[in-house]
Homo-oligomer: A and B are copies of this chain.
Amino acid sequence: MDDRIREHARILVDWSARIDAGDDVVLAVEDGAHDLAVAVAEQLGDRGANLLSTYQSDELTRAYLGAHDGSFTENPEYELALYDRADSVLFLKGSRNTTETADVDSDQRQAYSTARQEIREARLDTDWVSTQHPTRAMAQQAGMAYADYQDFVYDATLRDWEALAEEQARLKEILDDGKEVRIVADSTDITLFIDGRIAVNSAASVAYDSHNLPSGEVFTAPYDTAGVVTFDVPMTIQGRRIKNVELTFKDGVVVDWSAEQGEAVIDEIIGTDGGSRQLGELGIGMNRGVDRVTDNILFDEKMGGTVHLALGRAYDACLPEGESGNDSAVHEDLITTMGEGSRLEVDGEVIQQDGVFRWEDGFEG
C-alpha cells in the first residue's frame, strides 16, 4: 500500500472524524475508493471502532433510478434506523466516471432525494466527514496525469492540520472582531459588511464543525455588500463551463452581471429566488497544498491565495443566536485569485497583500 493512502486514512480517522473505541462507523465506499477503504478499515480496527461498509456507485444509482417508476418510499425505515444509530459516517469519494449520471432524469433524481430527506438529515446529524480518494476519472476532470493528480490530492490532504487550524484561528479572530472586509484585485473592488457575524475555522475536523477533508478556509456570512467583483477562476456548474463572471452589488443585491462564458448559468442562479441575488458566504482559502485549479469545488475554494463568495444561502454557524442569515435554495461558490497587486483589508487594515498574509514570510503590506 502507498504510504500516503495509509496516512490519509490516519488523518481521516484521528484528526477529522475523532473516532473512538466502540464508535459505530458507517464507511460509505464509492466504487473507485477501494484502496482508501482498506486503509480506513485498518485504522478503524486499530481504534476498536465498529465497521459497516456501504457501497456507493453512480452506475447502481443510474440503473436503479432509470428503472424506477418514481413513486419512492419515504425514508425506508431500515436505512433510517441505521443512520439514526450511527456515530460517524465516513464518505470515501472516488468516482470512476464523473459523468456517469449525465442521462439521469433530473426530476427523478429530485423525487428520490426528496423522499429521503430524513435519511440525509440523520446522516448529517452524525460526526460525518467526506474525503476524496484520487482516481483516474478525477485526474481526467482536472486535466492532469494520474500520478500528478495523486501528488496534488495528497499535498492538499496530508497537511499539518493542527498548525493550519492555529493559523486560521488568527484570521477567524480578525474577522470576528471586524466590521468591513474590502477585497481589491483585478477588476475587483468590493466591500462586505460582517459586523457581529461569526467566522468558522474550517480545519477539516468535526472538532471544528468542519466536515470535508481536505479543507483549509475561514468563512463568514456578510449581511451587506457593495462594489464589483470578478471571479477569474473557471468552473463547471451543472456540467456547463463558466469563466470570468463579473457581479456588481448595491445595497447587498446584485444589480448587474456578465460572464465571458456561461452567462446563462449565472442568469439561472441569480433568478432562483430572492436570496440568490445576495451573498451567503465570504470564504478565504488557506490551504497552500492546493496550488492549482482542478475543477473540483471542494479543492478549488480552499486554495491558498484565493477568496470565494457564494450567492445564496448562509450557513447557520456564522450567525449569532437569534439572527437569521440570507436564505435561498442555492449556494453557489465563485472564486477570485488574489494575485499581484491584490489586497484584503479588514476595517482598513491590510491583512493580505499580493496573496500573502501579514503573518507569512514575504508579506509587504
Contact = CB atoms under 8 A, between A and B. Distances in A.
A207 to B, nearest CB: 22
Main secondary structure of the interface of A (DSSP, over half): helix
A86 interface: yes
Given A45-B64, A45-B66, 20 more contacts: A24-B78, A37-B57, A37-B60, A38-B57, A39-B63, A41-B67, A45-B67, A46-B67, A48-B71, A50-B76, A50-B79, A52-B79, A53-B56, A54-B55, A55-B55, A77-B85, A78-B82, A78-B83, A78-B85, A81-B82
Contacts of A81: 78, 81-82, 84-85
Interface stretch (A26-34, A269-277, A349-357): A26-34
A52 B76 contact: yes
A303 interface: no
A53 B54 CA distance: 6
* Interface size of A as a range: 35 or more
A337 interface: no
Contact of A52 (B22, B37, B38, B54): B54
Contacts of A56: 53
A310 B113 CA distance: 50
Interface in A228-249: none
A69 interface: yes
A110 to B, nearest CB: 16
Nearest to A73: B50
Interface string A197-236: 0000000000000000000000000000000000000000
A45 B68 contact: yes
Contacts of A31: 34
Nearest to A119: B52
A326 interface: no
Interface in A275-307: none
Contacts of A59: 34, 38
